[in-house]
Amino acid sequence: MELTPRQLMAYNGTDRSKPIYVALKGCIYDVTAGASFYGPGGPYAMFAGKDASRALAKMSKNEADISFSLEGLSEKEMGVLNDWEKKFQAKYPIVGRVV
């Protein structure tokens, strides 16, 4: 499946009939199994329906950091992002890509 960033927003957990998706480095993960984290009211709900690459790399919950852009990230931040990617790959199925 391919989704635009706008289409991805529909999978933010507010519609309980839809799965919850979070994208990382352009890959879309179905994080519905982690709804207590990514669903409404969860500590990572701000990432649901979005590509959270930059924010996770920076370990930030700042709305301004929730972006697919990797521009200007340090080597350390890229390492953090790669660690997040491994965690996501081990825990959640990849269901598509952001285009």
Mean pLDDT per block of 10 residues along the chain (99 residues) reads 97 96 97 96 96 96 92 96 97 97
Supply the pLDDT for residue 8.
Answer: 98
Q: What SS3 state is found at 13? A: coil
Question: Left (φ > 0), alpha (ψ -120 to 50) or beta: where does 26 sit?
Answer: left
Rounded-to-10 torsion of CA 49, 92, 62, 76 = -140
Domains of the chain: 2-93 (3.10.120.10)
Residue in this structure with the two tokens 């993960």, named with its chain if needed? 29
As a whole number of angstroms, the longest Cα–Cα distance in the chain is: 39
pTM of the entire predicted model: 0.93
CA distances from 84 to 14, 52, 54, 96 (A): 24, 10, 11, 18
Distance separating alpha carbons of residues 94 and 88, to the nearest angstrom:
9
Supply the pLDDT for residue 78.
Answer: 97
Supply the pLDDT for residue 58.
Answer: 96
